Structure 1
Amino acid sequence: MPTTKSIAHRARSWADALDGASLRAIRRARPALIRAARRAPHDPSAALALARLVDVEGARADVHDALARALAASDDASARARLELALAQVAFERGGVGEAEQHVAHARDAARASHDPALEARASLVDARLALLTGRASSALEDARRIVARIRPPRADLLASVDAIAAMHALREGKKLDARALFERALRAASTYRGEVEIAVLAGMLGNVEHDLGLVESAAERFALAIRLGRRVESESVVAIFEGYLGLALHELGQHDVAARHHRAAVRRCETLGLERFAAQSRALLAVLDARRPRFHARAELALADALGRIAATGDHERADALGVLSAALDAELATALAQSGARSEAVIRVVRARALLDAASACSDDARIFARLAGVSLARAVAAAAEPDAALAVEPDGSSFSVRGHRVSVARHAAVRRVLARLVLGWADERDVGDDELVAAAWPGERLVPRSATHRLHVAISTLRRAGLGEHLERAARGYRLRGPLALLAPED
């Protein structure tokens, strides 16, 4: 058995290395490193080596304890900065966003005190990533970029990190092709120092971009590569996270049974590692897949509600908003099953609510856009299953057109009129009148209208619908307007 002194000596070289071989050595020496960190917390070497395991294992309690002990005992600014960064990642993986931001703030202070530009750049990069994920305004990326540009010789690991964070910013701004190019450049930089964990993560992130671009088969290949590399370096967190994303890609490719297997594996792995945000995502996607089978309908609704509650509790609002899009997919899948069983009226209500959820959803992240595309496919399937074009009144869920006894009328070119009809359809599904103010807000979103102008515009839109043939089905009510009588669905024109 190695002594505390000898393991600490080896730990110093492992902590500073970037390649996969040193990471595997740390994994093999893990028990000895834990013992060394406990016996000699004043020497941070063992804890700093263990800090590299956070990337591959997630938020393990014994590693967290070793990091916290070393931080409490250390007065070296460089060691403190590195330990704070590792603890920030642990906190974030556990869902403690506020705690993670506190650790990063302390890390940046310690990094500046250490006068180590590479360490200062790392701290700025972690801060930039957190700021991006939480929506907080920050100059951290520009700070890191300036620092990294001054380091000679250039550090491939830092250049890869800068490109990766810049790619995430490009995604936020909708510049998907720029993001793809930046991730590809980051991958090339990571390959120069054989950073297998970084290559796996970057391949997976590139897969997310390609999935967002609709290159689903290529994305699935990237996710599979990330999983293979993750297994090679025994990175449990990489395997767990990208199992879920591979399941998502296979779901969109129509391989539902295989997708479900990957999601179940992802849930098990993520729960073991404390990766609650990713576990909740796979739970939600499993719920949507379960909704395709009638005997699992009740379970699917409960499972999705549970997943949304769990993700909300982590404070990750962006992922919570993205997963909210899956409520539309779940409603659409349930609607399809209802239509196929003959319960068309219930199916119509589900479809209308799904359409409203999808229209109201925020699509500010790549996950949200991918989920919206999944929901759109489910919704189209539901509309096709429940459509009755020859009914007395049939309406497209988004209000683009309607049909009265088989005579179809399109209002797709009149955006405000279309939105008024869509809101009236939602009111019908909710069994309520739709007030004038609600119709105006839906038809002219974001516009500030004086009351007289709003009233006039709404009158014109309602008159347009009545003249187009909706007159006998659209009536003025005590609290606004409503559609009268049974309503069926109309599928989009080819």
Structure 2
Amino acid sequence: MPPRPGKTQSPRDGGPSRFVGREHALQKIAEAFARGRLVELVGPPGVGKTRLATEFARRTPPLSALRFCDLTEAASLSAFLFQVARCLGVPVPLDISPEELARRVREQVSADDALLLVLDNFEQLPASADAALAAWFERPGARVLVTSRRRLAGASATTISLAPLSTERRPGEPWSEAAELLVTRAAAFAGDAFDPQEDRATLEELARELDGLPLALELAASRFRMLAPKQVLARLSQRFRMLRRPDGTLTRANLRESIEMSFVMLAPPEQDAFLASSVFRGGFSLDAADAVLGEEGESWPLDLLESLLDQSMLTVDQDPNERRYDLLICIREFAESELSRREGGAVRAAARHARYYVGLGERLVGSADAGARRALEHERENLATIVHRRGLLGADLALRAALVLAAPASGLPYITVEELLGGALGDDAAEGAPPLLVGRALLSRGTVRRFLGRMPESTADLDRARAIGESTGDRALLAESFAGLGNTLAGLGDWGRARAFFERALEACAEPKLRPRLLAMLANSFGGTDEYDRAIPLFRQCITESDRAGDENTSATSRLALGVILLAAGDFDEAERLLGDALEALTRIGSPHWEGITLSYLARCKQERGDLTGALTLYSDAVARLDAAGVRRAQAVALYQFATALIEAGELSAAAKHLRAALPIARENCGEYEGVVLAAQGVVAARRGATGDAATLYRRAETSLSAYPKPMFLAAVRVLLGADPPAAFATCSEVRLALRLRSPVPAPHTTSPLLLARDGSWFRAPGSDASIPLERRKAIRGVLRALARQREERPGEAASVAALVEAGWPGERILASAAAERVYAAVATLRRLGLQGVIQQKAGGYLLSPECPVVLS
């Protein structure tokens, strides 16, 4: 009896749900058919191959026959031929031989060169079906579009690899492609009860967690009848139970079964390699595959990876230097689940993975070149997962991985490093791990906590590291622990006690390479108390010794510190040269934290030379870097310095905002700067005419500074109060700044201000007595508020068209050309309403004229 035929349908008759995205893929299919007659769509299970083929067929001009053949239930050559014959209307007598059936099908395909035949779900067919398909193209005939999870063998097809939908939202688009499909299908399932605008961020995150895989998105959307988006996201730890439809109302009702179908088609060595690949995170290289998969059998890992790629179980990037491989999240979770069922399989694979990556990471950290840093950046997720597998692998490997990630070359934010070190140390303080390894981890976490402003926790970690250094007799750990304790005290402004710890560190130090770094810390303690005559020679000695030792990092930070002191002392030429050298070296080494600090002082150099435009640009960059790094003390200092430049530029609102942000950070992390921040707030108040508030702030600044040995800061505050600069500090940068800031305030603008309601509901144009209501003009209101916000937050910079579109028409999907037209129309309307000359165009965007004061009411 012949096999039961699969579905035969015409995609032009009705059709499934609204098609989302994939326009580029449709174009590629059309271009491929312009070059040849056989096109293959290849991709992982659930990626939407059938849906794309259906849409292409639906859009094909109805010039001739269109046939759609579902091969899901065909598992042999004869079943394949029979189902294609039925689809094409070829008579199939009961006694027909396979050879005759193949001939008739081939002739039918060759007879109509206007035919489009779609062969769906080809992957489970044997190689003989590939050969039969290839024979159809020995002479002219129909076009054939094949969907499959594996590549065709022996057929001269144009292969189009189909990736999941994009999870990145393009400018001007309300959703990413993946989120748009999720929203569209959720609305179909949940109806009016579903409001996508309430959970935009959750829906985008859910789309990312589902890999942008259309089947997974469809199955997740079906749950929105019962669950809110946040509930669906929270339950993805049970991914395969969530992503199924027990009622069978969807064509593919179970994501796990869909993946399992592909898994069982793999040969045993391919299955072993596939399961072992689930231990990787963030992709992996061929070298890593050799180390981790090489022990799974005798097959060459490269061949295994190629087979997995052919079966759409693996993805590969297109890096021109080195390819990286990965599994989609849902496929990886399936593999992890299967691997856990094999006795000892997960532990063996994870151990090989950990040994390889810890060794690689330690080698990369020891190299200072940019290539090593890029390689380390690629492997951060693999190293982090070793920490997360501490319970499986033990504390030793977890601590080593965490220490690699704690190195500046990894480029991770300090808050992340703190979490990783905490995970490696664990609640049991890494009991059973080598004591020196534990001590190093405590030293590293103590240092990171200092940068984050957690001084008590930092001190506790460093003191535990010191105790391990003493008990083991490791003088390097002991010296660095003393130095760390000194730096914590320095961060609190206790320079005297800090200096004592630095001196103890130098006494304990037995490593010549460590000595220049400790000398730099001692020198910094003198700089902290404005004892420049003692600090400067020590820093010059540090630079000489670190250059001789080849310690580029200490050499760079010593140049930075010496540049800061010379800048404070008023020697701008040498300061700028040293800071420039430091920035070049730190950029080469790769240290965003120190780069941010250096940029902030280079900005101060420009400010002292009168280049406010250059200074504001550098300050903005510095603050952004330090904010990303989370270095609290440096953030406070940079925000304060940025604010002083904004005051000099006349941007009092922006300056006040930065000073408000700096004050609590300074109070907690660098008390000596609290006083100068308060003084700068006094300057803002004075320039706004609030002389009483200014006097109060100046007094508070004096009181705050009296607790710290910073005579230069105190002298600067007294200059603001009207005192003459003391001779010892007359050329110092803070005193020079105070002299500039206390100068008579320039005459007020002759231009009347633009008055604007804080909620944007009305405005009053300069020189006008009439208020213009905007309550019913939502888009124009949003655009004007965005321009005012840009003026306050980024003075002098134009707001981009994309930002103004988002403000005026939030969430709308608008073509770029149409978006620009809308913004242009809104600006034109505002100008007609009285803001002609107030709204200016610059660098492809718009801004409020810097010459026009803006008052929020």
Task: Give the TM interval when normalised to the shorter protein.
Answer: 0.5 to 0.7
Q: Which residue of 1 aligns with 2:388?
A: 38
1:300 aligns with 2:300: no
**Distance in 2 (alpha carbons) for counterparts of 1:328 and 1:245:** 23
Query: Residue 4 of structure 1: SS of its match in structure 2?
Result: helix
Task: Specify the alignment match of 2:620 in structure 1.
Answer: 264
Which runs of structure 2 are paired with 1:181-220 in the superposition (5 Å)? 181-220=537-576
Distance 1:193 1:217, change over 3 A: same
Judging changes above 3 Å, is the alpha-carbon distance between structure 1 residues 350 and 230 closer, same or farther for their aligned structure 2 residues? same
Q: Does 1:364 align with 2:709?
A: yes
Match of 1:373 in 2: 735
Letter in 1 for 2:357: I
Counterpart of 2:506? 145
Per-residue CA shift, 1:448-484, capped at 9, x if unaligned?
Answer: xxxxxxxxxxxxxxxxxxxxxxxxxxxxxxxxxxxxx
Q: What amino acid sits opposite 1:323 in the alignment? A: V
DSSP-derived class of the 1:95 partner: coil
Tell me what 2:303 maps to.
none
Alignment correspondent of 2:453 = 95
- The match for 2:681 is 327
1: distance between equivalents of 2:677 and 2:623? 15
Residue identity opposite 1:382 in structure 2: P
How far has the Cα of 1:123 moved from its partner? 0.9
Evaluate the alpha carbon distance shift between residue 280 and residue 175 of structure 1 in structure 2; reply closer, same or farther with a 3 A threshold.
Answer: closer
Q: Which residue of 2 aligns with 1:66?
A: 420
**Residue from 270, 286, 289 that aligns with 2:645:** 289
- The CA deviation at 1:317 is 1.6
Q: Report the CA distance between 1:265 and its aligned residue.
A: 0.9
Structure 2 counterpart of 1:316: 670
Q: Is contact 1:327-1:357 (8 Å) kept?
A: no
Report the counterpart of residue 7 of structure 1 in structure 2.
357
Q: Is this contact kept in 1: 2:682–2:695, CA < 8 A?
A: no
Cα 1:141–1:291 shift into 2, 3 Å? closer
Taking the aligned partners of 1:162 and 1:210, their CA distance within structure 2 comes to 20
Give the counterpart letter for 1:38 in structure 2: H
Deviation string for 1:216-238 (max 9, x for gaps)?
A: 23212222222222221221111
Contact 1:223 1:242 in 2 (8 A): yes
List runs of 5+ in structure 2 lacking aligned partners: 1-283, 289-352, 717-731, 749-857
CA distance 1:135–1:352, shift in 2 (3 Å) = closer
Query: Given that residues 64 and 87 in structure 1 are in contact (C-alpha distance below 8 angstroms), is that contact kept between their aligned partners in structure 2?
Result: yes
Q: Partner letter of residue 114 of structure 1?
A: T
Q: SS of the counterpart of 2:513?
A: helix
Structure 2 CA distance for partners of 1:38 and 1:22, relative to 1, 3 Å: farther
**Is the alpha carbon distance of 1:324 and 1:347 closer, same or farther for their aligned partners in structure 2, counting shifts above 3 Å?**
closer
Relative to 1, partners in 2 of residues 1:304 and 1:66: Cα closer, same or farther, differing over 3 Å? closer
485, 489, 496: which one aligns with 1:127: 485
Q: 1:111 to 1:187 in 2, by over 3 A?
A: same
Q: In the alignment, is the contact (CA less than 8 A) between 1:187 and 1:203 conserved in 2?
A: yes
Task: String of CA shifts for 1:78-112, please: whole Å, max 9, x gaps.
Answer: 11111111111221221111111111111111222
Q: 1:142 to 1:276 in 2, by over 3 A?
A: closer
**Aligned Cα RMSD in Å?**
3.2
Alpha-carbon shift at residue 383 of structure 1 (Å): 7.7
Q: In structure 2, do the counterparts of structure 1 residues 380 and 367 end up closer, same or farther at CA, with 3 Å as the change threshold?
A: closer
Deviation at 1:259, TM superposition (A): 0.7
Secondary structure in structure 1 of the residue aligned to 2:490: helix
Q: What is the CA distance between 1:322 and its match in structure 2? A: 4.2
Instruction: Summarize the Cα distance change of 1:165–1:59 in structure 2 as closer, same or farther, 3 Å threshold.
Output: same
Equivalent position SS for 1:225 = helix
CA distance in structure 2 between the partners assigned to 1:58 and 1:261 by the alignment: 23
Change (3 A) 1:83 1:20: farther
1:106 aligns with: 464
Q: 2:512 corresponds to which residue?
A: 156
Amino acid at match of 1:186: C
The alpha-carbon distance between structure 1 residues 262 and 32, as it changes in their structure 2 partners (threshold 3 A), is same
Which letter maps to 1:68?
G
State which structure, 1 or 2, has the greater radius of gyration over its C-alpha atoms: 2
CA distance in 2, matches of 1:55, 1:107: 23
Letter matched to residue 307 of structure 1:
A
Contact 1:237–1:270 at 8 Å: present in 2 too? yes
**Aligned partner (choices 441, 444, 458) of residue 86 of structure 1:** 444
Indicate the residue corresponding to 1:487 in structure 2.
none
Give the superposition deviation at 1:276: 3.0
C-alpha deviation, 1:129, in angstroms: 1.8
Give the AA of the match of 2:564: N
Tell me if the contact between 1:84 and 1:106 (Cα under 8 Å) persists in the aligned partners: yes
In structure 2, how many angstroms separate the alpha carbons of the residues matched to 1:69 and 1:202?
A: 33
**CA deviations over 1:155-176 (Å, ceiling 9, x no partner):** 3332112211210222245431
Alpha-carbon separation, structure 2, partners of 1:108 and 1:366: 34
Alpha carbons of structure 1 residues 54 and 371: separation in structure 2 relative to 1, 3 Å: farther
Q: Identity, % of aligned pairs?
A: 19
Name the SS for the 2:414 alignment partner. Answer: coil
TM-score by length of 2: 0.39
- For 2:410 and 2:677, locate their aligned partners in 1 and report how far apart those are by CA, in whole Å: 24
- How far is the alpha carbon of 1:325 from its aligned partner? 3.9
Spell out, residue by residue over 1:315-371, the C-alpha distance to the aligned partner (whole angstroms, 9 max, x if none).
Answer: 432332343343355456x2xxx7xxxxxxx48768867876776645734984767
Contact 1:288 1:326 in 2 (8 A): yes
C-alpha separation in 2, matches of 1:31 and 1:55:
11
Q: Which amino acid aligns with 2:672?
A: E
Quote the offset at 1:57 in angstroms.
4.6
From 570, 580, 591, the counterpart of 1:224: 580
CA distance in 2, matches of 1:222, 1:32: 38
Structure number with the higher helix fraction is: 1
Question: What are the equivalent positions in structure 2 for 1:334-353 lying under 5 Å apart?
Answer: 334=687, 346=689
Conserved? CA contact 2:675–2:702, under 8 Å:
no
- In structure 2, relative to structure 1, the CA distance for the partners of 1:142 and 1:286 (3 Å cut) is closer
Q: Which residue of 2 aligns with 1:479?
A: none
AA aligned opposite 1:147: A
Change over 3 Å in CA distance of 1:281–1:132 after alignment to 2: closer
> Could you tell me whether the CA contact under 8 Å between 1:287 and 1:300 is conserved in 2?
yes
CA contact (8 A) 2:604 2:641 kept: yes
Matches within 5 A, 1:465-476: none
Distance 2:594 2:518 in 1: 20
Q: Secondary structure at the match of 1:156?
A: coil
**CA apart distance, 1:76:** 1.9
Highest relative contact order (Cα 8 Å, sep 6+), 1 or 2?
1
